[in-house]
Amino acid sequence: MNKKTIWITGGSTGIGKALAIKFANEGWNVAISARRENLLNEIADNHENISPFPLDVTDKSKCKEVFEKIKNKFENIDICFFSTGTWNPKKEKDIDVEQIEEVFKINFFGTLNAIKAVEEYFKNRKSGTITIVSSIAGYRGLPNSTGYGPSKSALNNLAESLYFDFGRSNVRVCLVSPGFIKTPMTDKNDFKMPFLKTTEYAAEKIYDGLVNKKTFEIHFPKSLTIVLKILSFLPSKIYFGLVGKLTKYQKKD
């Protein structure tokens, strides 16, 4: 029986790395991509089923080139997991247009470049899963999130649009919305993160959602995400009041 294959971007650290190891341990072929080739090689050297494919997702032509290499090596790709992302909380407190452009270039357009690279393959294959990693920050606007939150909100909308477009070809589109997970990116946060979980916890939830379930959105931990989903349905006045209290945001008269 041929092994199944998953391609993971953002695979050198954080959730992407933990998920790569989880799938490899479950017997899958795993192709991992990220900009830092040394980290990819280190992971691959320690796990037999993992192969490194260095990539900067902001390079459209490189995305296509790398995907061709992955196809040539493994032939059939069953799942793509696109989790490249960046976040700089110190630069999010004011409107830093250049920083916001950079965040969108990586978080949104980087993901879009990767999806475009696999579009024809999956639509012709008429099966498989394309996974877009968003965040709870994409549900509604939050204080000090001028770039990251809007980029994730854009990914949520994109995933819903692609759900219909790829669904016509029997291809599953899945959205992943993690809460606070301890990664090098969240280590930059200077506030208390409720229900903080490990990357291994995230990998278990994502693996279960991708392999054993068929839901559109995989979100966790439920104790946090369900509350935020309820908040997202509230009228703006109530939402602003509650989130303002929770985040100790003070409106200036």
Residue type, 103: V
Q: Are 10 and 34 in contact (CB under 8 A)?
A: yes
Q: How far from 7 is each of 24, 37, 137, CA to CA, in Å?
A: 11, 16, 25
What's the whole-model pTM score? 0.91
- Mean pLDDT (the chain) is 92
Q: Are 151 and 107 in contact (CB under 8 A)?
A: yes
For 240, residues 6+ apart whose C-beta sits below 8 A from its C-beta are none
Digitized pLDDT (tens) for each residue of the chain, 253 residues in all: 579 999 999 999 999 999 999 999 999 999 999 999 999 999 999 999 999 999 999 999 999 999 999 999 999 999 999 999 887 777 777 888 999 999 999 999 999 999 999 999 999 999 999 999 999 999 998 887 889 999 999 999 999 999 999 999 999 999 999 998 887 666 676 666 777 899 999 999 999 999 999 999 999 999 999 999 998 899 999 988 888 887 765 554 4
Q: What structural domains does the chain harbor?
A: 5-246 (3.40.50.720)
